[in-house]
Homo-oligomer: A and B are copies of this chain.
Amino acid sequence: MDPAWLPPEAFGPLGARRTLIRGAGPLVGTVRGEVSEACERFGGEVVRDGPYDLLLELTDGGLGPEDHTYAREGGTTTVTASDGRGLLYGLFHVVRLGEEAFTRGRPREIHRPATGVRMLDHWDNVAVHPVMGQVERGYAGGSLFWRDGRARGWTDRVRAYGRLLAACGINAVCVNNVNVHATEARLLTDRIGEVAEIAHALRPYGIRTHLSVTFAAPVVLGGLSTADPLEDPVRDWWAAAARGVYRVIPDFGGFVVKADSEGQPGPFTYGRSHADGANMLAAALAPHGGTVHWRAFVYDHRQDWRDRSTDRARAAHDHFAPLDGQFADNAVLQVKHGPMDFQAREPVSPVLGALPRTRLAVEVQATQEYTGQQRHVCWLGPMWSEVLGFRPEGGLGPSVGELAQELVAVSNVGDDPFWTGHPLAQANLYTFGRLAWQPDADPGRVLDEWIGLTFPGAPDRLAEGLHRVLDGSWRTYEKYTAPLGVGFMVQPGHHYGPSVDGYEYSPWGTYHFADRDGIGVDRSAATGTGYAAQYAKPWADVYESRETCPDELLLFFHHVPYGHVLRSGRTVIQHIYDTHFEGVEEAEEARRVWAGLAGLVDPARHARVAERYEEQVRCAREWRDQVNTYFLRRSGVPDAHGRLIY
């Protein structure tokens, strides 16, 4: 087993005990298997009756299917659930607690996930894409699921993946790229058997399988002349397609759709709304209990940079807010957490507060497209936590975590031996799952949980070192990359490494408007694109004004002179210089800390991380120097501290 959380040692405390398991069903079988294996290894026993340390019991307790109770009373630990899924999550709860589960008394408590679907979207292609490769935006090797144009049948690995996911609370996986190309389209119909194989391997861990489909499927697969969602033959075709899917995958989760987005087909072709499109698919899935995840990532990706009136940040709200209340019950609007595209710093999408009568999924990106591509350590827990804690209506209103019915992350996993390329990037995957289960969890605590589960029995020096290099790594990354929320400034195409003007004259709607006097995008209502007014108050007011806008988002909302004084007291230009020097220093320090952990981590894993730190430090310096040089050349303002800028 390749290194991840849940190495055998994580089951040590449980495996040394006597466990009684009551109940039946496939997932109870999974629980039984886990416990038996641990007992074989650590000397405990699965008992049929009599004295036990741990009871895992299926009961009728008015619990939801994923809920479980936990109690330690009278020297016995008890987990109950009304369904195998809940029992499995209860088992992993015991594993997470470790020795404490058998030593510290605790009155009965109920654990239930805050969200119904906690999904990973794999942007995996079946046929290798000539530009995007096997996994679009993948930084962990090839795909777990697909190779050489077909399902690779790596059942053991997929099952092991499902186990890792279940242990952090994830219950759904979408197995193919939202950009559905010709080969992948056919997974819906004649190649559904390959999807069924994957579903079969994931099912024992309570993971439902979803499929990305192309909106044009009735035309490209069905031979119809239209994919108009209001045409009966089209609706019939989708209904039949859904029936075909459920025949082979009875617990199929549903469809994921990227429509009218970056060249993908959609309802706009037929003059229909996105509600029309989503509802047609929802209707096809409804009889079978499936859900359609409809992505809100709709914007003009052929924008003219000369056109200052169009603002990509506005697009999702402009398109979707008017549709609130029109979506079917089993249609979920899947909304990226920010208005742009997974930058290291964005405001929370105004869409997330704007559709109270619509099921919402918040989409985050575990794969580090814009955050170092798993060559940089960038633990995103705190960023996601900030998003989930944001209250669109201000102080007393609900948080995004409370508004979201579902959480979705783009997976960062591939066929890499360390699962995620960078071994420490596993922390992002784990943290996503735990935050999806409990959005208001303290991310720092989740991080320690991951450390504990991944390095059971780690000496304090290791645990503290791991915590130190991960916690704060997102802010370090932010420091040495694009400043103050302005975003992008990456190399076009692959998005790795700096290019300050890389997207400045592109059709992608991603500009910073730096000139010799200042920088930033005026998105105010008074003088800019009006994006700030898409928020409810008080945020609309907070963002509208340069004086109240948080520093870290200033350049997202305002164009300001380089001499503008931030709330921090520094000028913008000095902030740019300072943060870029600091960011590199922090990366160098993290590398040093990691080097000091040699001997405490298995050599292969230590070497892999050490090698990636070399690249991170190199790249961070490149970011620092390019950004600082660019702004020195533009502004002519020297660094107040006289540091070297080229």
- Tell me the A residues contacting B by CB distance below 8 Å: 305-306, 308, 491-493, 498-502, 505, 514-517, 622, 625-626, 629-630, 632-636, 646
Using Cβ atoms and an 8 Å threshold, which residues of chain B touch A636? 515-517
A505-B498 CB under 8 A given contacts A625-B306, A646-B306: yes
A632 to B306, CA, bound (A): 14
**B633/A505 in contact, CB under 8 A:** no
**B505/A626 in contact, CB under 8 A:** yes
**Beyond A306-B625, A515-B632, A634-B634, 17 extra complex contacts between A and B, CB < 8 Å:** A305-B646, A306-B646, A308-B646, A498-B505, A499-B501, A499-B505, A501-B501, A501-B630, A505-B622, A505-B625, A505-B626, A514-B633, A515-B633, A515-B636, A516-B634, A516-B635, A633-B634
Using Cβ atoms and an 8 Å threshold, which residues of chain B touch A646? 305-306, 308
The 4 A-B residue pairs with the shortest CB-CB distance in the complex, in nearest-first order: A515-B633, A516-B516, A306-B646, A501-B501
Distance in Å: Cβ of A72 to nearest Cβ of chain B: 58
Chain B's closest residue to A633 (CB) is B515
**B515/A634 in contact, CB under 8 A:** yes
Using Cβ atoms and an 8 Å threshold, which residues of chain B touch A634? 515-516, 633-634
A308 to B646, CA, bound (A): 9
Distance in Å: Cβ of A303 to nearest Cβ of chain B: 13
Mostly helix, strand, loop or mixed at chain A's interface? loop
Chain B's closest residue to A625 (CB) is B306
Chain B's closest residue to A498 (CB) is B505
Using Cβ atoms and an 8 Å threshold, which residues of chain B touch A516? 516, 633-636
Distance in Å: Cβ of A309 to nearest Cβ of chain B: 12
Interface pairs (13), CB distance under 8 Å: A491-B492, A493-B493, A498-B505, A500-B501, A501-B501, A505-B622, A505-B629, A515-B632, A515-B633, A516-B633, A516-B634, A516-B635, A633-B634
Distance in Å: Cβ of A204 to nearest Cβ of chain B: 39
Chain B's closest residue to A637 (CB) is B516
Distance in Å: Cβ of A125 to nearest Cβ of chain B: 16
Distance in Å: Cβ of A28 to nearest Cβ of chain B: 50
Chain B's closest residue to A634 (CB) is B516
A398 to B305, CA, bound (A): 50
Using Cβ atoms and an 8 Å threshold, which residues of chain B touch A514? 633
Using Cβ atoms and an 8 Å threshold, which residues of chain B touch A517? 636
Chain B's closest residue to A500 (CB) is B501
Distance in Å: Cβ of A273 to nearest Cβ of chain B: 33
A502 to B636, CA, bound (A): 21
A246 to B621, CA, bound (A): 53
Distance in Å: Cβ of A129 to nearest Cβ of chain B: 13
Distance in Å: Cβ of A639 to nearest Cβ of chain B: 15
A305 to B622, CA, bound (A): 10
Distance in Å: Cβ of A480 to nearest Cβ of chain B: 15
A634 to B633, CA, bound (A): 8
Distance in Å: Cβ of A625 to nearest Cβ of chain B: 6
Distance in Å: Cβ of A584 to nearest Cβ of chain B: 14
Using Cβ atoms and an 8 Å threshold, which residues of chain B touch A622? 505
Q: Which of A499, A622, A636 has the most CB of B within 10 A?
A: A499
Using Cβ atoms and an 8 Å threshold, which residues of chain B touch A630? 501
Distance in Å: Cβ of A272 to nearest Cβ of chain B: 32
A635 to B626, CA, bound (A): 19
Using Cβ atoms and an 8 Å threshold, which residues of chain B touch A633? 514-516, 634
Distance in Å: Cβ of A629 to nearest Cβ of chain B: 8
Chain B's closest residue to A307 (CB) is B646
Chain B's closest residue to A621 (CB) is B306
A306 to B629, CA, bound (A): 9
Chain B's closest residue to A491 (CB) is B492
A491 to B493, CA, bound (A): 11
A75 to B615, CA, bound (A): 79
A426 to B492, CA, bound (A): 33
Distance in Å: Cβ of A638 to nearest Cβ of chain B: 12
Chain B's closest residue to A646 (CB) is B306
Distance in Å: Cβ of A469 to nearest Cβ of chain B: 27
Using Cβ atoms and an 8 Å threshold, which residues of chain B touch A498? 505
